[in-house]
Chain A
Amino acid sequence: MQFSKVPGQKNQHKVVLYALSTCAWCKMTKQFLEDNDVEFEYVYVDLCEEEDKQKIRQHIQSKGGPLSYPTIIVDDNVLITGFRKDKLTEALEL
């Protein structure tokens, strides 16, 4: 699976963003992370091969999340569904 990496000064957490290339909420989440100088990696699920889609599904569901996008997983532990500034701010200590 090809993740795109976005560099940032705030790199104390491992931030993974699962997004859709067409989704406006995903776009806002990505912008929010960039604006806050957070280092993260993202992948557009709709552009993935089916095999990878299944892996993503398993990853999200193993963390107890619904299959909604954007899904942000912080340190492979905290899962945030949807563009939630409050939760992102808390989890990423912004």
Chain B
Amino acid sequence: MTKITLEMVRQRAEADARTYGYYLNPDPKFLQSLLEGLKRNEERYGYPSCPCRLASGKFEFDRDIICPCDYRDPDVTEFGACYCALYVRKDVHEGKTELEPVPERRPMEKQSKAYNVAAAKEEAKATSEVKPKLMYCKQCGYVVFRDDPPYTCPICKAKKEMFAEIKTRTDFTG
């Protein structure tokens, strides 16, 4: 396995910020600390889960908090920064808006799994139904398979309301 370097983590975050029109935290010391946290999580879990959230260490349960997390876009829009404040809005980057702690948006049922992985595994086994569904962006056709549509389409930036479920059916009548 290739060694994870801080530079790799930084470049990945910078590239992602550019793609989405965000900025990285303007405080160099704070940013360094966040990147080190991401690096540490990638080393110990195999994926860069949010440095400011308790992870379960099990990919399926942590999928929504792998950076950039599922909650980043609504948090940056509403509060000016994501939960850990790695990604910030332009006005925050320019120092025009002061940051306040961002409240946790992640549902409690998902947070709970990190405190009792064994119980979460049992529960996952018991509920074998597939929750994720196929959805497509009505604007550009991008298709996702997950529980909920993304906050914005990663391809054309359309809002989540533009996503519609793809109803699959088995029909042999021709």
Q: B54: which of A28, A67, A81, A83 is its contact (CB, 8 Å)?
A: A67
Q: Is the interface of B mostly helix, strand, loop or mixed?
A: helix
Contact flag A24-B116 (CB < 8 Å), given A67-B111, A69-B54: no
Contact A24 B52 (CB under 8 A): yes
Q: Which of B106-131 contact A (CB under 8 A)?
A: 108, 111-112, 114-118
Contact flag A25-B55 (CB < 8 Å), given A57-B115, A66-B104, A81-B101: no
Q: B51: which of A20, A45, A54 is its contact (CB, 8 Å)?
A: A20
Check if A63 is an interface residue, CB within 8 A of chain B.
no
Interface flags for A10-47 (1: CB within 8 Å of B; 0: not) read 00000000001111111110000000000000000110
Check if B41 is an interface residue, CB within 8 A of chain A.
yes
- Which chain A residues lie closer than 8 Å to B37 at the CB level? 20, 22-24
Number of contacts between A and B (CB, 8 Å)? 63
Complex CA–CA separation, A70 to B127 (angstroms)? 33
Contact flag A66-B103 (CB < 8 Å), given A20-B52, A25-B52: yes
A21 to chain B, nearest CB (A): 7
Complex CA–CA separation, A21 to B33 (angstroms)? 10
Check if B84 is an interface residue, CB within 8 A of chain A.
yes
Interface flags for B26-42 (1: CB within 8 Å of A; 0: not) read 00001001101110110
Check if B85 is an interface residue, CB within 8 A of chain A.
yes
- Which chain A residues lie closer than 8 Å to B53 at the CB level? 20, 69
Contact B101 A25 (CB under 8 A): yes
Contact B85 A24 (CB under 8 A): yes
Q: What are 13 residue pairs bridging A and B, where the CB atoms are less than 8 Å apart in the complex?
A: A22-B51, A23-B84, A25-B85, A25-B101, A26-B52, A53-B54, A54-B115, A57-B112, A66-B104, A68-B103, A68-B104, A69-B54, A84-B101
